């Protein structure tokens, strides 16, 4: 009896070891591109888009799988992927008539617990009002489209210079969402970030060139309050000069200086 029991246990152990040795170590990513008619970033049973380019990258931004064009049903897929995190990125040609309504690159993880990742990417037609216009701080930081466009424009290693110092995307986002609390240095810095971002987004900066130059001069040698207490009181002479420049930049960013605000 004991011998029989031992044999049964041995068979079960061998079976278990065999199953474990053949456990999956790779997975897949499947998804589709849809026509986001209402631009809300969510597929509300909207149409699918064929012929769009999707690339799989590692977290360092290097392509690990060549581009996959979406099928007639808007589908794309990447298979036999080792378990790890990836970036699924949509790539538009320079003359594309479309823009994304979801993140340009979405981070996903293929793992034993989630070996078949499913996802979607939303696009809408590019409008004339997407270009040559300005956006306010509230638009850049408080709306999904503004946030996505900002991350697309100011992605590593892109930086924006404020005065004589350069700031990368995470630092800029931190500055833009930081409460002013009477700090004229931060007030001017925020408006200068937005002005330079609007110009990067093809808004004409001709009318504001002198003010941008004066703002950089005012900030020269000064660091924005990232992790320290750099502060210039807005009631001081220096602070009032900074506020005056910030107000001029704010007029430009709000579409009141000859360049229309984006609709």
109 within some domain: yes
Q: For the chain, what percentages of helix, strand and coil (3-state, to nearest 5) are there?
A: 35, 25, 40
114 within some domain: yes
Q: Quote the pLDDT of residue 97.
A: 79
87 & 194 share domain: no
80 & 177 share domain: no
Cα 104 to chain centroid distance, Å, stands at 6
133 & 248 share domain: yes
Tokens of 232: 């210039």
Taking alpha carbons only, the member of 194, 223, 224 closest to residue 211 is 194
Is-contact 78 34, C-beta < 8 A?
no
- Residue whose pair of structure tokens reads 């309050």 in the numeric block: 225
Residue 59 sits in a domain whose CATH number is: 2.60.40.10
Q: Quote the pLDDT of residue 254.
A: 92
35 within some domain: yes
75 & 95 share domain: yes
Domain end position, chosen among 95, 126, 157: 126
137 & 183 share domain: yes
134 & 247 share domain: yes
Domain end position, chosen among 71, 101, 126: 126
158 within some domain: yes
Q: Quote the pLDDT of residue 130.
A: 61
230 & 241 share domain: yes
| pTM (two decimals) | 0.57
What SS3 class is residue 69? Answer: strand
CA–CA separation, 256 and 250 (whole Å): 9
**Domain of 104, in residue numbers:** 28-126
169 & 220 share domain: yes
Q: Quote the pLDDT of residue 153.
A: 81
116 & 147 share domain: no
Domain total for the chain?
2
CA 48 to each of CA 18, 43, 44, 88, 122: distance values in angstroms, whole numbers, following the listed order: 43, 10, 11, 18, 9
119 & 137 share domain: no
120 & 137 share domain: no
Q: Quote the pLDDT of residue 19.
A: 46
- Residue whose pair of structure tokens reads 């946030």 in the numeric block: 147
104 & 136 share domain: no
Cα 92 to chain centroid distance, Å, stands at 15
Taking alpha carbons only, the member of 43, 97, 90 closest to residue 69 is 90
Q: Quote the pLDDT of residue 20.
A: 47
The secondary structure element, H or E, covering residue 253 is helix 237-253
Mean pLDDT by 10 residues, the chain (263 residues): 53 50 78 89 91 92 89 95 94 80 89 94 76 86 79 82 93 92 96 95 91 97 82 95 97 90 77
Is-contact 56 84, C-beta < 8 A?
no
């Amino acid at each position: 009896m004991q011998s029989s029991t031992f044999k049964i246990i041995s068979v079960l152990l061998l079976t278990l070891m065999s199953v474990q040795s053949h456990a999956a170590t790779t997975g897949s990513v499947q998804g589709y591109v849809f026509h986001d008619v209402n631009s809300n970033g969510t597929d509300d049973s909207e149409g699918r888009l064929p012929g769009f380019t999707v690339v799989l990258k590692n977290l360092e931004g290097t392509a690990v799988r060549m581009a996959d064009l979406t099928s007639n049903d808007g589908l794309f897929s990447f298979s036999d992927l080792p378990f790890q995190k990836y970036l699924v990125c949509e790539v538009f040609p320079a003359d594309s008539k479309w823009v994304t309504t979801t993140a340009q690159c979405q981070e996903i993880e293929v793992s034993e617990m989630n070996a078949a990742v499913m996802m979607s990417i939303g696009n809408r037609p590019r409008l004339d009002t997407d270009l040559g216009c300005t956006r306010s701080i509230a638009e850049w930081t408080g709306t999904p489209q503004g946030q996505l466009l900002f991350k697309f424009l100011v992605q590593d290693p892109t930086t924006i210079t404020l005065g004589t110092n350069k700031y990368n995307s995470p630092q800029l986002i931190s500055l833009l969402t930081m409460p002013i609390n009477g700090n004229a240095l931060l007030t001017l810095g925020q408006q200068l970030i937005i002005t330079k971002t609007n110009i990067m987004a093809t808004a004409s900066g001709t009318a504001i060139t002198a003010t941008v130059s004066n703002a950089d001069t005012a900030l020269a040698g000064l660091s924005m309050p990232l992790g320290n207490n750099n502060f210039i009181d807005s009631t001081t002479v220096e602070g009032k000069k900074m506020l005056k420049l910030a107000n001029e930049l704010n007029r430009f960013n709000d579409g009141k200086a000859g360049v229309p605000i984006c609709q």
